[in-house]
Every structure is written in C-alpha cells, then in structure tokens.
Structure 1
C-alpha cells in the first residue's frame, strides 16, 4: 500500500504517539492532556447525512494540565533535515501559545524531524526569538543545529512512548 503524503495525514503518526503517551499520563495521574477537536461548522443535514466544513480554530492541537500547571502545545512534523520552517505555524497558533505562556502555562511546539527520526520540544523563548525575527524580515526558519542544541530532545522512556512532559517532573 502506498504511503499517503497528504497534508491532512502528515502528522497522524506523531499524534498517535502523543495520544498513547497522554493515555499513560492520565492513567498514572502524571498529567491530563487532550487533543483539541478540529472545529467544524455544519452546513447541512439531509436525512441524517451531515455535511460540514472545517472552521479556523483559535486553539492549538493539545491542551491540559500537569502538576498543577496548564500545558498547551501544537504538534508539527517536517521532512526537511536542515531547518523547521515557521510557515508551518499559523499566526493564530503562535498568538495562542504566546498568550498562554504569558499567563504561566507551559507552551511549546512538539517537533518531529521525520527524516532524522528525532523529536524535540521547541519552547516559547526560542520560538519567539525566531518568530519575531521573521516578522521583521529575518530568517523564516529555525536551523536544525539551533533546535538540536537549544531544544529538549524527546524519546521513549520510563514506559512513555514519547515522554514530552519530563521537563515538568
């Protein structure tokens, strides 16, 4: 069977890994993090057949709480080996993350470099530096070397498929 490369399915494997981790977090009482449903506007209902359209949402992919602290993040996957393009982040996603971060939430991008098989936690200070620079006409991506040296590498450990909240232990 051919591997799907559509934009809609690109991050499904990553989201499944996060969902499996979230189930264990919930079971162990470590955290409660849930996937934010994609907002849909129902356009018609014909005899039980419902049609709808995806509506631009205000939130990001995941929201929850860990050790009494709000957690909110988006999951992003890239096949580029040399950088992470900021065009993968919508302005409303960045604004939501920044707003929650200013209120004390743990906010980040969970980033997967698929060609390298590596996961990283891109936290707000690093993201904000590059985002603001791009808004002023600077670089529109974060170099892989910066991510590898400044971001928390993530992997399976302690029974978690992807222990992304280990920084809050």
Structure 2
C-alpha cells in the first residue's frame, strides 16, 4: 500500500478566521454591555496520541454551528461563513447537519441565521433562516448550487460597524 501524504493550504485552514474574530469582539462587547450573551462553540478535537508534552490530533467535523446565545429573551443560533467569491455564495459551504440544526432551532422559536462575508468585497450580510431555507430547498433538489450576490444585496441586511460595535449584527435580528 502506498503512503499518501496530505497537504493543506494555510489560507484554506484559516478561512473564516477574520469574520469569526470580528464576531467574537462584538459578542464580548454585547456581553459587557448586558445586551446579549453569545458564545462560540469550540470545534471538537480528537486526540490520537499524547506523549509527554506532545499532543497529536485532528479537528473533527463539528456537530454544531459556530455560535449560540441569548438575546432579548430568545435563543439565537448562527454560523459565520466566509467566501472569496464575488458573484455568489456556494451552498456547499454549509453542511447538511448545520442546516438541519438551524432548521430545528428555528422551528422551536430560536432566531437562526448565517453571517456571510464576501471577503474580496469587504461586505458582510445577515442571511435569515427563511431565505436560507428557500435556497436550500433548490440546492438539495438539484436546483441552484449557490445564492447570487445580488440576492444578498436586495434581500439581506448588510452588517457594518455601528454604535461602538465592530460588527453590529444584532440590530438586524428581529
């Protein structure tokens, strides 16, 4: 059997790190101001070897989305997604289990959404679950494989810095 060594791109591995950092800074400010308590869900790690100070392992496929919390007396649950595309957001960026979790919580009254960053355009949008669900139904039914950028511009709220918050997304969570 041949030994195949996998390599990875650091830029791919850190995809979404900038957006998540902005969300983390904003969430800390929301918490400090008493506005909301929103926490980042850590990515699970499977440890394969522990030898003294050296630990070897790999990140597992998460069963959750990135963030969960409470705002205005209701649960919010969302994921932060980043794309380098400029004309569309590929739905393949969302795993089926993430969609199902957002759907389940939405059906039980939580505010579910995605924060989508078009990194090359330096624009971030809040995509409410209802809009995501419309696009997803076409995606799983051999329809469209992405959401056009124009749909974000026309139907989503663009999230910007406002009132001392780096990324004031809660202003659009109704």
CA contact (8 A) 1:67 1:168 kept: no
Report whether the alignment pairs 1:23 with 2:28: yes
Counterparts of 2:58 and 2:17, CA distance in 1:
20
Give the count of matched residue pairs: 166
Question: Among residues 97, 112, 116, which one is paired with 1:111 in the alignment?
Answer: 116
C-alpha RMSD of matched pairs (Å) = 1.4
Secondary structure, aligned partner of 2:11? coil
Point out 4+ residue stretches in structure 1 off by more than 6 angstroms.
none
- Report matched runs for 1:53-92 at 5 Å: 53-92=58-97
Q: Could you state the TM-score of these two structures normalised by the residue count of structure 2? A: 0.91
Counterpart position of 1:123: 128
Secondary structure, aligned partner of 1:142? strand
Counterpart position of 1:10: 15
Secondary structure, aligned partner of 2:112? strand
- Report matched runs for 1:135-146 at 5 Å: 135-146=140-151
The Cα of 1:121 is off from its aligned counterpart by 0.3
Counterparts of 1:10 and 1:95, CA distance in 2:
22
Quickly say closer, same or farther: Cα 1:10–1:122, change in 2 above 3 A.
same
CA contact (8 A) 2:78 2:112 kept: yes
Question: Among residues 40, 43, 66, which one is paired with 1:38 in the alignment?
Answer: 43
- Note the alpha carbon deviations across 1:46-80, whole angstroms, 9 max, x for none: 12322222122210111111111111111111111
The Cα of 1:99 is off from its aligned counterpart by 0.7
Q: Could you state the TM-score of these two structures normalised by the residue count of structure 1? A: 0.93
Counterparts of 2:145 and 2:56, CA distance in 1:
37
